[in-house]
Amino acid sequence: MIYIRTDANEVIATGHVMRCLTIAKQLVYQGEQVTFLISDKQSATLIEQAGYVYKILDSDWNCPDNEAEIRSLRTLFEREMKMKDKPVLLMDSYRITASYMEKLKDVVKLVYIDDLYEEKYPVDMLINYSLYYTRFDYQKRYKDSQTQLLLGGAYVPLREAFCTKQSRHAVSQAQDILIICGGGDIYNVMGTILSHIIRRNLVNKYRYHVVAGAYNPNKSQLLEYAKTYESIQVHENVTDMAGLMQQCDMAVSAASTVLYECCAMQLPTVFFIVADNQKYDKECFGKDNIMQYAGDVQENTEDTVERIIDRLESVAQDMQLQEEMINQMQQLVDGHGAERIAQAIAALKNR
């Protein structure tokens, strides 16, 4: 059995669950059984929609390292060990600590998705698929351990559709714009973008495809804009993001795994930061005209949104710049990262 410990709610971005679902699908393809472990019912929405088995731990998502959760997991894994070999636990949460792992490592093989490099983890396998992993000395940190390292863009866990969908059509003046900000959008960036677009008389210049995530607290405002303006369409419960990207000429997105998806679809993108853990995305995606960086909404939402629209307008009208961005993107991601991760986890389970 492969267990996956993750969460999603109005505070935690849905990206953690989404990339775990992608890996889970590849594990199932390889004949593995997968069960998700989540703190509470709120985290179940996306997992239920995907049809996976899950167990609710009745725990605190903000502090998983608590006695009740550790006791529950140890009981689960010990029971599994009596029937079979050690199970595998894939963990994807910034709230999970090395202390949490130490309390479990004798009863389960541990795999962790780490893109912060904050501490050394007692794990059997560590994954950092970010383009900026080279700024951290993983080899030195783990040289005296048996930890297997999966590092770099070869392991970006993109959904299967991003391997099979045809990438963007020939460059032309932009008409359809994708706007996306993860599952929560606690700063209401998308609503602010639309209000600025309306104020600047750009609402009828393009068609805007706004993705409202499962935990978006401002969905009613977005839907109201869509009722008022024909050029604004709100997409809920999107199951084919690659297909939606294929319809669009440009994207505006928060820094997240979505940026890698835009690369796979060769979709010229303006991006912004909404969380501290995204700060390094500015360095790797914002250089050499891979994408256009607009700022950090945590510092000043209004100013960042103004820059988003300025850069959107600039890229939309500049086909040569779009071509340059596309050429850079197609060098970064091949779309088979989830398959490689699943193969590595299955091999770890069977060792």
DSSP for 198-215, please give it: HHTT-TTTSEEEEEE-TT
Sheet of 250-254: strand order equals 232-236, 207-212, 176-180, 250-254, 269-273, 292-296
Q: Render the burial of 77-106: b for 16+ CB within 10 Å, e for the rest.
A: beebeeeeebbbbbbbbbebbeebbebbbe
pLDDT tens across 30-52, in order? 999 999 999 999 889 889 999 99
What angle, rounded to 10 degrees, do the helices at 337-350 and 15-29 form?
60
The count of C-alpha atoms lying within 13 angstroms of the C-alpha of 350, restricted to the half-sphere facing its C-beta, is 9
For residue 152, the model assigns a pLDDT of 93
Amino acid at 258: V
For residue 331, the model assigns a pLDDT of 83
What's the mean pLDDT when you consider all of the chain? 92
For residue 174, the model assigns a pLDDT of 80
For residue 333, the model assigns a pLDDT of 83
- Looking at residues 195-208, what average pLDDT do you find? 97
Q: Answer for the pair 177, 312: CB distance below 8 angstroms, yes or no.
A: yes
For residue 116, the model assigns a pLDDT of 86
Band (349; pLDDT cuts 50, 70, 90): very high
For residue 226, the model assigns a pLDDT of 97
Q: pTM for this structure?
A: 0.81
Give the CA distances from residue 75 to residues 12, 79, 183, 305, in Å, rounded to whole numbers and listed in that order: 27, 6, 32, 49
Share of the chain above pLDDT 90, in %: 75
The CATH superfamily of 162-329 is Glycogen Phosphorylase B; (3.40.50.2000)
For tokens 């340059």, the residue is 324
**How many other C-beta atoms can be found within 10 angstroms of the C-beta atom of residue 53?**
10
pLDDT tens across 51-109, in order? 999 999 999 999 999 999 999 999 999 999 888 889 999 999 999 999 999 999 999 99
For residue 230, the model assigns a pLDDT of 97
Residue, of 12 and 293, whose pLDDT is higher: 293
Give the CA distances from residue 110 to residues 20, 105, 107, in Å, rounded to whole numbers and listed in that order: 15, 7, 9
For residue 84, the model assigns a pLDDT of 81
For residue 182, the model assigns a pLDDT of 74
**How many other C-beta atoms can be found within 10 angstroms of the C-beta atom of residue 137?**
10
For residue 211, the model assigns a pLDDT of 96
- Looking at residues 160-187, what average pLDDT do you find? 79
CATH class of 2-158+335-350: alpha beta
pLDDT at 29 over 60: yes
* Range(s) of the chain covered by CATH 3.40.50.11190: 2-158+335-350
pLDDT tens across 112-168, in order? 999 889 999 999 999 999 988 999 999 999 999 999 999 999 999 998 888 776 665
pLDDT tens across 308-344, in order? 999 999 999 999 999 999 999 888 888 899 999 999 9
Q: What is the rounded distance in angstroms from the CA atom of residue 90 to the CA atom of residue 111? A: 5
* Range(s) of the chain covered by CATH 3.40.50.2000: 162-329
Q: What is the rounded distance in angstroms from the CA atom of residue 95 to the CA atom of residue 93? A: 5
Give 129's contacts (C-beta < 8 A, 6+ positions apart).
113, 115, 150, 151, 152, 153, 154, 155, 156, 157, 260, 337
For residue 332, the model assigns a pLDDT of 85
